[in-house]
Chain A
Amino acid sequence: MTQRVKFYQTGTFTVGNRLLDADSRTVQATLDRSNSLTSGHRACQGCGEALGARYAMDTAMRAAGNKVVAVNATGCLEVFSTPYPESSWQIPWVHSLFGNAPAVATGVAAALRAKGRTDVRVLAQGGDGGTVDIGFGCLSGMFERNDDVLYLCYDNEAYMNTGVQRSGSTPATARTATTPAVGAHPGNTFGQGKNMPLIAMAHDIPYVATASVADLHDLEAKVTRAMEISGARYLHVHVPCPLGWGSNPCDTVKLARLAVESGLFPLFQAEHGAVTDVTPIRRKVPVEAYLRPQRRFAHLFRKPPDTESLAAIQAIADRNIRKFDLLGAGGG
């Protein structure tokens, strides 16, 4: 029997495993989890990427009977997990280049098919830079061919590994090393954005979802769902980076949650190009609540505050809320 759990019981929306029966607990909470990304790696304190990767990989391993091969793009996750001769990976893992993880994964999947190893599953993973920028062509090719690969993008909204430079996923106004908070329009410019999950959906691939380290149960559920499907699948995970965002390491999950609750990072699932499920916002917060604790947005809150930019960011959130019906006007 599954309990109906209200995750806001602790008052903070924290997902309390102890409130659940054993079957409903996270893979991460089980003693027999694979511990694919084991301790001792060199991520910063409070690294959202390390957290997301650990949950995602162990869940995928559980779903695949512990038969997973992982391909990693260059980036923080790769660097902090494999300083030679040490490795945090307890699974077969290969790093080739920054921009080719999807194609390398295609090759691994092809080799397994050639050898008749239908039992082994292939995962590829990279940061936002490796995914939406330099690896974009390879990723689109992998989608178009519908190769049997689950691709995980850990989106911390900049090139963190090289010292926090702007990527195609960096939000407007954010300060990075290449979009400094100086001049008439400090921080990143307001561009058109690059919504990788929607671009993935435009390929009509079997499964696309967004997830966040704010809701690790949901992240695990989405990885599990993705692993039930074959073909090209894409999971875009929002992972705060204390170093790059100038946030408190203990606030990683809180910031991730504020991104979701403000509407800036909508959580949804889609199959074959159509949205099948949206996670409604439970308590809407203004974008300011999300932006203010991060030093990368500090210039918005100088005296006088940059109300114009704040309004523009709020408009982005509101547009998301309307587009994905995040307040559940359509029910829920």
Chain B
Amino acid sequence: MLKQVEGSQAVAEAIALCRPEVICAYPITPQTHIVEGLSKLARTGELGNCQYINVESEFAAMSACIGASAAGARTYTATSSQGLLFMAEAVYNAAGLGLPIVMTVGNRAIGAPINIWNDHSDSMAMADAGWIQLHAESNQEAVDLHIQAFRLAEQLSVPVMVCEDGFILTHAYERVDVPDPDQVDRYLPAFEPVQMLDPEEPITMGAMVGPEAFMEVRYLAHHKQLQAIDVIPELSAEFETVFGRESGGLIKPYRTEGAETVVIALGSVIGSIKDVVDELRDDDVAIGAIKVVSFRPFPLAQLRDALADAERVVVVEKDLALGLGGIVASNVRMALRGLRTPVYTVIAGLGGRPITKQSLHRVFAQAGADEIDDPHFLDLDLAVVDRELARAREKRRSGPIAENILRDMGLVGGKLG
């Protein structure tokens, strides 16, 4: 059914359609509206016998998910930013135990300095925890990916993280087609765990494993991710048959035919990038874009194929590996290893800094002429940075950096004097 609805509400409704049996919730902006929506659905009985647990921390949320999933229940939680890091140990543990938990990450920056706005630092920090990680471009895709996520998780016994940009998607009202319950039921069969805690068939889960078997156990977890490379497109194709809409998959190229420059990005920013590509194409610039839906597993072969004819690649990413550069770009270089194709990194949108079409035009032009620094920090105010560096050189106790910068920009001058 078509609705004009907030992204979080649409995701809450999609989760409800997946008939979860246990939901663990802890508030953190910007994911909170999802669990709030679900709490209402649980109270009004729309979730049937689903158990909605308000826990005391994200660590407990993921831990309760672990217990519930190990006992054979379809289990869901959502978090963001500090919350994802607070549960980190349990995030790894859920994957290690092969529990098909589905979690939404409403992507948000990580402090200090504390910042509630969108970037991808949080999910990137957990990229190698053993979870499948899917990134939504729009609220429609967020809805669709969650439905696919349960199917994928349960088929492979692996947890799946669906990432959607905080505020940009979670708080945006847009038209979303929320599927009919019978469609979802046709697509998503009841959860049948490969193993569970059951007094009729007692098993030991989470035993201690030493050097003699640990490598093999870890390899098999990697193997599961590689299996997902095949399963994700299959499930996406099946989704299209049932729901009549294309959604998901590993990557999604946009106007890459004959493109000399190909831009790669994750999540909602691909929307602005596609607009810029359209405008540049109108001006006969040979440029295209690729959306990476599945960041884990990372579709190495698919990207390499899709980039075969590209003369250069520009990765626009909302994260920063301090002391290195781009995380997504490093992954893309892995896909292109052995080739000469230059891969430029554009670090953009950290802590919610707007990524404007104007700036994208500028940076794509620079990259197209192979005149771009790498990594390039989009819209970084170098003058401000240089002045702060000068202050720090001048005086050891030069004051809090963020405050100095805001004062420098004249944003708080009046208040702080």
A interface list, Cβ under 8 A from B: 66-69, 71, 78-79, 82-85, 87, 89-97, 99-100, 103-116, 120, 137-138, 140-141, 144-145
Contacts and interface: CB of A to CB of B under 8 A. Distances in A.
Contact of A95 (B24, B207, B210): B207
A110 B66 CA distance: 11
A69 to B, nearest CB: 5
A94 B197 contact: yes
User: What 5 A-B pairs have minimum CB-CB distances, sorted nearest first?
Assistant: A107-B67, A141-B56, A103-B63, A111-B71, A111-B73
Contact of A97 (B51, B64, B75, B89): B89
B57 to A, nearest CB: 6
Most chain B C-beta atoms within 10 Å of own C-beta, residue among A84, A90, A120:
A84
B60 A100 contact: yes
Contacts of B202: 89-93
B306 interface: no
B49 A114 contact: yes
B49, B53, B93: residue with the most chain A Cβ atoms closer than 10 Å: B53
Q: Which of A78, A82, A99, A103 has the most CB of B within 10 A?
A: A103
B383 interface: no
A103 B64 contact: yes
Contact of A114 (B21, B66, B97, B208): B21
Contacts of B208: 78-79, 82-84
A116 B64 contact: no
- For this complex, into which size category does the number of interface residues on chain B fall? 35 or more
Interface in B166-216: 197-199, 201-210, 213
B65 interface: yes
B64 to A, nearest CB: 4
A131 to B, nearest CB: 15
Nearest to A110: B51
B160 to A, nearest CB: 18
B414 to A, nearest CB: 42
Contact of A115 (B72, B204, B213): B72
Contacts of B72: 111, 115
B22 interface: yes
A82 B205 CA distance: 9
B300 interface: no
B344 interface: no
Interface of A is mostly: mixed
B50 interface: yes
A67 B206 CA distance: 20
A112 B205 CA distance: 17
A137 B58 CA distance: 11
Given A100-B90, A103-B67, A108 B197 contact: yes
Contact of A107 (B56, B64, B204): B64
Contacts of A116: 49
7 contacts: A84-B209, A84-B210, A91-B199, A93-B202, A110-B67, A111-B71, A141-B56
Contacts of B235: none
Given A95-B207, A96-B66, A97-B89, 20 more contacts: A84-B209, A84-B213, A85-B213, A89-B202, A97-B90, A103-B60, A104-B64, A106-B55, A106-B63, A107-B64, A107-B68, A110-B68, A111-B22, A111-B67, A111-B68, A112-B71, A114-B21, A137-B57, A140-B56, A141-B57
Contact of B206 (A94, A112, A113, A144): A94
B199 A68 contact: yes
A200 to B, nearest CB: 15
Contact of A99 (B53, B56, B59): B59
Contacts of A115: 21, 49, 71-73
Contacts of B21: 111, 114-115
A34 to B, nearest CB: 10
B345 interface: no
A221 B206 CA distance: 30
B56 A138 contact: yes
Contacts, number: 160
B82 interface: no
Contacts of A141: 55-57, 60
B396 to A, nearest CB: 35
A104 B63 contact: yes
A291 B213 CA distance: 43
Interface string B306-339: 0000000000000000000000000000000000
A66 B201 CA distance: 12
Contacts of B55: 103, 106, 141
Candidate in A83, A89, A111, A120 with the most chain B CB atoms within 10 angstroms: A111
Given A69-B71, A138-B60, A141-B57, A107 B65 contact: yes
A265 B197 CA distance: 35
B149 interface: no
Contacts of A140: 56
B75 A107 contact: yes
B69 interface: yes
Contact of A108 (B71, B207, B209, B213): B71
B145 interface: no
B84 interface: no
B207 A106 contact: no
Contacts of A100: 59-60, 63, 66, 90
Contacts of B56: 137-138, 140-141, 144
B70 interface: yes
A214 to B, nearest CB: 30
Nearest to A104: B67
Contacts of A68: 199
A93 B204 contact: yes
Given A107-B66, A141-B57, A92 B199 contact: yes
A85 B199 contact: no
Contacts of B49: 113-116
Nearest to B52: A110
A96 B207 CA distance: 9
B67 A108 contact: yes
Contact of A94 (B65, B70, B75, B213): B70
Given A107-B66, A111-B21, A87 B204 contact: yes
A45 B61 CA distance: 38
A92 B198 contact: yes
Nearest to A106: B64
Given A114-B49, A120-B199, A108 B70 contact: yes
A32 B56 CA distance: 40
A83 to B, nearest CB: 6
Given A96-B90, A104-B63, A89 B197 contact: no
